[in-house]
Amino acid sequence: MSIDVSSGSPAARAVPIQGVVFDFGAVLSMTPFETGLLIEQRLDLPKGSISWCGPLDPTLDHLWRGMLAGEISEREYWRRRASEVGRLFGEDWTPRDFYRRVCAALGDDWIRPGMADLLDEIRSHGLKTGVLSNELELFHGPEWVASLEILRKVDAMVDASHTGILKPDSRAYQAIATALDLPLSDLLFVDDQARNVAGARAVGMQAVHFEITNTASAINVIRAAIGDARGGAARRTTTS
């Protein structure tokens, strides 16, 4: 099946997916945009310290709009935000400093609810799972990444922290396809940024735009793709 990312509706395809590849940040994990109040409480920050809206309301976040327009990189966006919060502690924070403090404060609350179960569900149908991230280890550090229970549910991970190849570069998608030993066309890719979704579709992957303003819709589309894959496997067993 293919995925119409403009409407989120699945369309029939001759060959069902054989694997699902997730972005990590904002898909498998929560974002500071969604957890700002909790971050303020856990870090004992003044109310309104984490007030950036990002994709929740780009009209109120000029830095996010600049990132979407290609005026600054995503890394630069988070460098500036980390620096802002660090100054509240009288320190000069990098994105890793920011995320280290946030993840320690939030613990399991940083992982998006239901995503670990979704990975289990995908694997229970015999499909492969992968993660394709632009800066997971760069932002969080190797020790934290190694400690994540949810990543033990993935068959392969490609992180631009090591490869230096950022989505939507076509080589990034090819790298995860190679790691999973599957054709690009047999993979469903899930990302919160439209340009990365477009990049995946450009190389022949199926893709879902995981909008954090409507996560339930994206998860429903993923589950529909899983069901289609299961049905396809049953049909192949019956006719073989």
pLDDT in tens, the chain (240 residues): 334 443 344 443 446 899 999 999 999 999 999 999 999 999 999 999 999 999 999 999 999 999 999 999 988 999 999 999 999 999 999 999 999 999 999 999 999 999 999 999 999 999 999 999 998 999 999 999 999 999 999 999 999 999 999 999 999 999 999 999 999 999 999 999 999 999 999 999 999 999 999 999 999 999 999 988 776 554 443 333
Torsion of CA 215, 190, 165, 173, to 10 degrees: -170
The reported pLDDT for the residue numbered 4 is: 42
CB atoms near residue 151 (< 10 Å): 16
CA distances from 172 to 60, 164, 178, 206, 221 (A): 31, 9, 10, 15, 23
Smallest CA-to-CA distance from 190 within 217, 163, 164 is with 217
Q: Are 234 and 227 a contacting pair, CB within 8 Å?
A: no
Cα angle value 60/61/62 (rounded, 5°) = 115
What H or E segment, with its residue span, contains residue 233?
helix 215-239
| CB burial of residue 210 (10 Å; 0-12, 13-18, 19+) | buried
Q: Are 101 and 125 a contacting pair, CB within 8 Å?
A: no
CA–CA dist 106, 31 (Å, integer): 11
Strands (DSSP E) found in the chain:
2-4, 9-11, 19-22, 128-133, 156-159, 187-191, 206-209
Q: Are 78 and 52 a contacting pair, CB within 8 Å?
A: no
The end-to-end CA distance of the chain, in Å, is 21
CA–CA dist 11, 33 (Å, integer): 32
List alpha helices for 89-164, DSSP H. Answer: 95-106, 115-124, 136-140, 142-147, 160-163
The reported pLDDT for the residue numbered 228 is: 82
CA–CA dist 181, 61 (Å, integer): 40
CA distances from 102 to 30, 78, 95, 210 (A): 11, 13, 10, 22
Q: Which two tokens stand for residue 45?
A: 């920050």
Smallest CA-to-CA distance from 186 within 11, 14, 19 is with 19
